[in-house]
């Protein structure tokens, strides 16, 4: 009998919960975050996430930021601490991840994080920046659809910062984003990851 494989992008992960604490250290910040099985990066903050947090520019002035695919919240919480006046939308399809992000944001005193399912972000919200370690494992078609759903909700000229592993298709994703009309810049290549900037037409 084969055991169904559990993915971190399921709405309700099938694997039993086993919470653990992971550490996120960044210039000026030292956070303890709760993670769990069935959630991306459960054993420690992902290397790609750390590359994004270290190498992407700080949030621009503005009032609406998005962490697309928040997991247990490392990106959203760092953004919220750096931009306390902005609202940081933290969205995910994984309900266990959303619960963890809510709890982690509360402990990190990041009260400006709004945690919700993707469909709960009001349709009129437009973003001053998107930061994401996107769910490449969902497959190329679903990933493209996800990006085409959210990147057009950037304000004119606003950036999306995406971290993607080089050997998981960072360069072909950059080329595809260019074909969709975004101005794409490869900001950094580090530890096997690319940090891409994709800007909506001004």
Ligand X SMILES: C[S@@+](CC[C@H](N)C(=O)[O-])C[C@H]1O[C@@H](n2cnc3c(N)ncnc32)[C@H](O)[C@@H]1O
Chain contacts with ligand X (rule: CB under 6 A): 8-9, 40-41, 46, 49, 69-71, 74-75, 91-94, 97, 118, 133, 135, 138, 146
Q: In angstroms, rounded to a whole number, what is the distance separating the alpha carbons of residues 91 and 69?
A: 6
Place of tokens 């096997």: 192
- Answer whether 97's CB lies under 8 Å from 72's CB: yes
C-beta of 138: minimal distance to ligand X in Å?
Answer: 5
Nearer of residues 157 and 172 to ligand X, judged by Cβ: 172
- Answer whether 72's CB lies under 8 Å from 108's CB: no
Cβ neighbours, 10 Å, residue 10: 17
Residue nearest to ligand X (CB): 69
Nearer of residues 17 and 157 to ligand X, judged by Cβ: 17
Burial 70-106 (b: 16+ CB within 10 A, else e): bbbbbbbbbbbbbbeebbbbbbbbbebbbbbbbbbbe
Beta strand pairing status for 20-26 and 159-165? Answer: unpaired
C-beta of 108: minimal distance to ligand X in Å?
Answer: 14
Nearer of residues 144 and 183 to ligand X, judged by Cβ: 144
C-beta of 106: minimal distance to ligand X in Å?
Answer: 18
Nearer of residues 32 and 157 to ligand X, judged by Cβ: 32
C-beta of 193: minimal distance to ligand X in Å?
Answer: 11
C-beta of 1: minimal distance to ligand X in Å?
Answer: 27
Nearer of residues 46 and 128 to ligand X, judged by Cβ: 46
- And the tokens for 25? 């250290």
Nearer of residues 50 and 187 to ligand X, judged by Cβ: 50
- Answer whether 195's CB lies under 8 Å from 52's CB: yes
C-beta of 92: minimal distance to ligand X in Å?
Answer: 4
- And the tokens for 184? 């794409």
């Amino acid at each position: 009998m084969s055991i169904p494989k559990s993915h971190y992008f399921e709405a309700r992960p099938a694997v039993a919960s086993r919470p653990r604490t992971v550490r996120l250290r960044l210039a000026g910040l030292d956070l303890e975050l709760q993670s769990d099985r069935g959630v991306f990066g459960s054993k420690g903050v992902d290397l790609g996430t750390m590359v994004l947090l270290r190498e992407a520019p700080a949030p621009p002035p503005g009032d609406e930021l998005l962490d697309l695919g928040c997991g247990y919240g490392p990106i959203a919480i760092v953004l919220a601490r750096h931009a306390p006046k902005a609202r940081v939308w933290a969205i995910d399809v994984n309900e266990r991840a959303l619960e963890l992000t809510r709890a982690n944001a509360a402990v990190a005193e990041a009260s400006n994080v709004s945690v919700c399912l993707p469909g709960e972000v009001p349709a009129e919200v437009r973003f001053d920046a998107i930061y994401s370690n996107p769910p490449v494992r969902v497959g190329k078609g679903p990933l493209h659809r996800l990006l085409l759903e959210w990147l057009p909700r950037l304000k004119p000229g606003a950036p999306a910062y995406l971290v993607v592993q080089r050997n998981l298709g960072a360069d072909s994703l950059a080329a595809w984003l260019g074909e969709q009309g975004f101005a794409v810049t490869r900001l950094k290549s580090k530890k096997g990851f690319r940090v891409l900037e994709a800007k909506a037409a001004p």
